[in-house]
Amino acid sequence: MNQRIVADLRSDTVTRPTAAMRAAMAAAEVGDDVLGDDPTVLALQERAAALLGKEAAIFTPSGTMANQIAIRLHTQHGDEVICHRDSHAFYYESGAPAALSGVSSRFLEGARGQFSGSDVQAVLRPVNSHFSPSRLVIVENTHNRGGGSIWSMDKLADVSRTARAADLKIHLDGARLLNACIAAGHQPKDYTQYVDTVSMCFSKGLGAPVGSVLAGSREAMKAAHRYRKMFGGGMRQAGILAAAALYALDHHVERLAEDHAHARRLALGLAEIPGLRINPDEVETNILFMDVEERLGSAADLCERLRQSGVLMLTEKAQRLRAVTHLDVTGAQIDEALNVIRRVIAGK
């Protein structure tokens, strides 16, 4: 008999398409996207470009591919990309910047995945044949390993000014950009005005099963179409997937506020449990980290004990767990998960 899952908090990627989303997928009009004639993909790309304030967009199978296409667009082999040490494009994408684009990475520090224009200025390479040319800055909003942190508009504008002055391109990894927009009360264009390209994911908080989008200038997206093919991302009757993304944009954006409220509710409850350390004030969106005191064992040990009781999380570091709320987790499940965590930690 399968174990009952109290709450799956491993990631917002575990969401399943709703019945209504599945119906939209089944009814989607399709063509051949590689040949450019899938009407549902074309509709999604047009809508995404308008939403993100760019001339054009391209549908990709994943956020990783969207990010890596952007890096390939803006760089040549031997160039250098500037990013935070914990950026998804470096940390979680299997060495792709080096493998696919032949670029090196220059790392920035900064609390919760963020940095300033002066931080960028400090690592710019001199124009000299001894050094890799600095070409691209990557900003991630919200920042995954930063605990779902939101970039302020002033900080992003500051980084943009520095990059422009140095003739650098800027890519925004906006996998959870709409989480930032809902939490901060901004429109996507407010952020994307400062960047050359932006990626956005449909298969996280928006609840679609597959897919991301990359947006930028019309010329850049023409080149992106080739790189998508080169990287193995050409899809045929992809309108079935694009229909899910369109449904998500229609029905699952405003409700992201529920995920944020649930994360805050979870954080406040965790803060009261002896042996766990968390700052609820740092929970801005749907991702939270909690540190596990060593007397409770390692994070992996606690994660396994919680799994056996039906609460699923992921380890982030030796003594840190990550939990992510999403559309498949209700407020009642949050409360039940907190009860389970209390019992497990108390050894009951």
Q: Give residue 2's pLDDT.
A: 66
- pLDDT beyond 70 at 1: no
Q: Tell me: do 231 and 323 sit in the same domain.
A: no
Q: Is the bond leading into 64 cis (omega within 30 degrees of zero)?
A: no
Distances 123 to 81, 269, 339 between C-alpha atoms, Å: 11, 41, 47
Q: Tell me: do 209 and 327 sit in the same domain.
A: no
Q: Tell me: do 67 and 147 sit in the same domain.
A: yes
CATH number at residue 279: 3.90.1150.10
Side chain identity at 278, as an amino acid letter? Answer: I
| Tens of pLDDT, residues 308-328 | 999 999 999 999 999 999 999
- pLDDT beyond 70 at 348: no
Domain count for the chain, please give it: 2
Q: Tell me: do 105 and 162 sit in the same domain.
A: yes
The residue among 199, 222, 251 that closes a domain is 251
| Tens of pLDDT, residues 150-172 | 999 999 999 999 999 999 999 99
Q: State the DSSP H helix or E strand holding residue 50, giving kind and residue range, or none if neither.
A: helix 39-52
Confidence of residue 3 (pLDDT cuts 50, 70, 90): confident
3 found inside a domain: no
11 found inside a domain: no
Q: Tell me: do 133 and 200 sit in the same domain.
A: yes
101 found inside a domain: yes
Compute the residue count for the chain: 348
Q: Tell me: do 274 and 157 sit in the same domain.
A: no
| Tens of pLDDT, residues 23-66 | 999 999 999 999 999 999 999 999 999 999 999 999 999 999 99
| Tens of pLDDT, residues 167-222 | 999 999 999 999 999 999 999 999 999 999 999 999 999 999 999 999 999 999 99
10 found inside a domain: no
Q: Tell me: do 31 and 48 sit in the same domain.
A: yes
Q: Tell me: do 178 and 268 sit in the same domain.
A: no
35 found inside a domain: yes
| Tens of pLDDT, residues 264-304 | 999 999 999 999 999 999 999 999 999 999 999 999 999 99
Q: Collapse the DSSP code of 214 into the 3-class scheme (helix H, G, I; strand E, B; otherwise coil) and give the result.
A: strand
The residue among 226, 251, 276 that closes a domain is 251
Q: Tell me: do 164 and 220 sit in the same domain.
A: yes
CA 322 remoteness from chain centre: 15
The residue segments making up the domain with residue 309 are: 255-346
- pLDDT beyond 90 at 247: yes
**Which 8-state DSSP code applies to residue 141?**
S
14 found inside a domain: no
CATH number at residue 199: 3.40.640.10
203 found inside a domain: yes
Q: Tell me: do 247 and 260 sit in the same domain.
A: no
The residue among 251, 267, 288 that closes a domain is 251
Which residue, among 2, 6, 18, 8, has the nearest Cα to 207 in the 3D structure?
Answer: 18
Q: Tell me: do 218 and 265 sit in the same domain.
A: no
Q: Judging by beta carbons within 10 Å of its beta carbon (0-12, 13-18, 19+), is residue 290 exposed, middle or buried?
A: buried
Q: For residues 337 and 288, what is the distance between their CA atoms, to the nearest angstrom?
A: 15
Average pLDDT of the residues of the chain: 97
The contacts of residue 192 (CB under 8 Å, 6+ apart) are: 52, 53, 54, 172, 174, 198, 215
160 found inside a domain: yes
Q: Tell me: do 119 and 208 sit in the same domain.
A: yes
